[in-house]
Amino acid sequence: MAYAAAKAALLSVVRNLAKELAPHVRVNAISPGPVLLPESFSSQEGAQHAERTLLGKLGTPEDIWEAVQFLIEGSYLTGVNLKVDGGASLV
């Protein structure tokens, strides 16, 4: 419950800051899916997380970097929450 509440609050802050700071500042968020798993996870646990995505694999730091670049270069984007989760949020 605490995680869900914190995430909802963060997304609300992004939307409200985008409204308050426009047009001089753009505010966006990235919601990553399974990318860097804890070192304590077994390969089986990693595979289970990968299976919970539509793409059937874990993301990489490069996937997140590509999303950051997209948001930086997209001068008409503000108030966006970009999910970089391999479709995990759709499962």
Let me know: does 40 contact 21? Beta carbons within 8 Å: no
The rounded mean pLDDT for the chain is 97
Question: Per-residue pLDDT averaged across 33-42, rounded?
Answer: 96
Position 57 confidence tier, pLDDT thresholds 50, 70, 90: very high
Residue pointed to by tokens 């909802």: 8
Q: Which of 2, 3, 24, 42 is catalytic?
A: 3
Compute the distance between CA of residue 56 and CA of residue 37 in angstroms, rounded to an integer: 15
pLDDT at position 42 is 96
Residue 76 catalytic? no
Domains within the chain, CATH numbers bracketed: 2-90 (3.40.50.720)
Question: Per-residue pLDDT averaged across 68-90, rounded?
Answer: 97
- CA 17 from chain center: how many Å? 18
pLDDT at position 60 is 98
Position 55 confidence tier, pLDDT thresholds 50, 70, 90: very high
As to burial, measured by CB atoms within 10 angstroms (0-12 exposed, 13-18 middle, 19+ buried), residue 86 is buried
Quick check: pTM over 0.85? yes
